[in-house]
Structure 1
């Protein structure tokens, strides 16, 4: 039995069946998921440490101030991680798998910005067991910063 603790909650990974997300026949076009995330320095440092990514644009204020961004930005892969986590946890949920994703990052995200994400089911293909989920993200000023489409296999 392997235990992983995430934010103080232990989950059993082996030896017990986990709850699965919605199956394709339970998913309806128009279903939505709204979530809000704030990107903090501790999250950035954890990401940079795990990936050994030392891009100065992500953490060095002196370098970033000489770029068009003017200050450090959040790596887009971190934002992608928030989106894929929402797919895995909520829409359709545990047991699902992303087949394809097309995400455009319209504006940079800065440290300590709060991002509002909206995921919406756009298409359900029961024969292929495939769901299209659109994603949109907005920054503190309600400006669009992310848009895309994710093709997901719900749990079987």
Structure 2
């Protein structure tokens, strides 16, 4: 019997929460579920998130289909302010299903700052958002 029954959500740190929310909701069509900030006077976060008292977080949960992601903007005086590349430790991407790969790519090519990589056959294409996050767009038959 497995101890884990599934994935609740996946969180991604972003440099600017508003920019990321606008991209995910207006461009990709995600639904904003909730948004919040910590710490609050009655909810310190140092022990829960392994952070220092002068660090804070703003975050939002979004849904697409039945899946949930969390976008997180951290504020910290010791923060590394560069998105990791794919081969870097901590590098990551979010693979998204699409009903039409070409249609999705056509829309994304009109968004300033989006970088579309060379397709990998007919199965998927990597895209970099204007804020540096990598997305992997998956064809319906992939």
Shared fold per TM-score greater than 0.5: no
Normalized against structure 2, the TM-score is what? 0.29
Normalized against structure 1, the TM-score is what? 0.28
